[in-house]
Amino acid sequence: MDPFGSYKFAISARATDKQIRKKSQDGGIVSAAYIHGLESGLLDGVIVADKGEDFCAVPKVATTVDEVLSAAGTKYTTSPNLSVLKNAVREYGCDKVGFVGTPCQVQSIRKMLKYPVGYRHVPDKIALVMGIFCMENFPYNGLKTIVEEHCGIKMEDVAKTDIGKGKFWVYSKWGDVKTIKLKDTHPYEQQSCHVCMDYTAELADISTGSVGSPDGWSTIFIRTANGEAYYKAMEDAGVIEIKNIDDVKPGLGLVEKLANSKKDNNGKERAHRKEIGLPLPY
């Protein structure tokens, strides 16, 4: 079983715009792709996970650069991005929609595109599907427990969260930085994440994440002809800076290790549940 799924090539990249890099996570690839799409006309609306009250994740249709930048950054909690797809088409009148989501959300949108029950007039409006690497996610209450009880920061004071170096990081608006070991966050994970087999968003046009690239850069898998065309448009416009993935550390070896770990561990959990007659959690 290929740990990465089907893809054309992989690279390490980051946005060339320093403002995007400052506001975004890692290399700022999703924000750079969205902004380039809106400015070039390749997209006329994009689905983002915006910051709601007390740092909750709220799905939103963004049609301007400022809206994309305002929503930049990973939230590490569930954002039902699919729920606003109809709004993008019917209320905002978008004809070329960009979508980004976790691997499970990417799987959902691919199913919707194939069997658009309840989504009439939407499938032909999806212009780009981007996916983000994901080992597991947290329901909002789980994230709140991690941030407030373990890190001692109120949710309303959170400026940014991150995962790296085996820790979950919380940055406050007042400059405080608190961490918790990643292994100590496992009890607060979404249970359905424990049966998901996809780490690198294998069904996206373009998937991206920090793992495998140096700090401030992102690893990118170009997976489809549509994704390749979009990537080339970004490259030609100079909105991304690129490195050969074979020339960076830690490289695809670490991505492969994590992808295989998710497939192996969660495959065993699925088999165990089947053996004892338990349904898969959703």
Q: Which of 251, 189, 257, 259 has its CA nearest to residue 217?
A: 251
Q: What is the arithmetic mean of pLDDT over 178-190?
A: 95
Q: Which of 129, 247, 267, 246 has its CA nearest to residue 198?
A: 267
> For the whole model, what pTM was predicted?
0.94
Rounded Cα gap, residues 157 and 149, in angstroms = 14
Report pLDDT for 121.
87
How many CA within 13 A on the CB side of residue 62? 27
Report pLDDT for 193.
93
DSSP-based three-state secondary structure for 131: strand
Whether the per-residue pLDDT at 150 is higher than 90: the answer is yes
Q: What is the arithmetic mean of pLDDT over 201-211?
A: 97
Report pLDDT for 126.
97
Those residues with Cβ within 8 angstroms of residue 255's Cβ, 6 or more apart along the chain or in another chain: 3, 4, 133, 199, 200, 209, 211, 212, 219
Rounded Cα gap, residues 99 and 123, in angstroms = 12
Report pLDDT for 73.
86
Q: What is the arithmetic mean of pLDDT over 98-124?
A: 93
61 or 165, greater pLDDT: 61
Q: Taking the domain 138-189, which CATH number applies?
A: 3.10.450.750
Segments making up each domain of the chain, as ranges? 9-135+196-276, 138-189
The mean pLDDT of the chain is 95
Q: What is the arithmetic mean of pLDDT over 134-156?
A: 96
Report pLDDT for 1.
66
The pLDDT-based confidence of 59 (bands split at 50, 70, 90) is: very high
- Given a contact cutoff of 8 angstroms between Cβ atoms, the answer to whether 221 and 10 are in contact is yes
Report pLDDT for 118.
85
Rounded Cα gap, residues 260 and 100, in angstroms = 23
Does 116 sit behind a cis peptide bond, omega within 30 degrees of 0 on the bond before it? Answer: no
Rounded Cα gap, residues 94 and 66, in angstroms = 18
Question: Would you put residue 175 in left (φ > 0), alpha (ψ -120 to 50) or beta?
Answer: left
Share of the chain above pLDDT 90, in %: 90
Report pLDDT for 164.
84
The pLDDT-based confidence of 165 (bands split at 50, 70, 90) is: confident
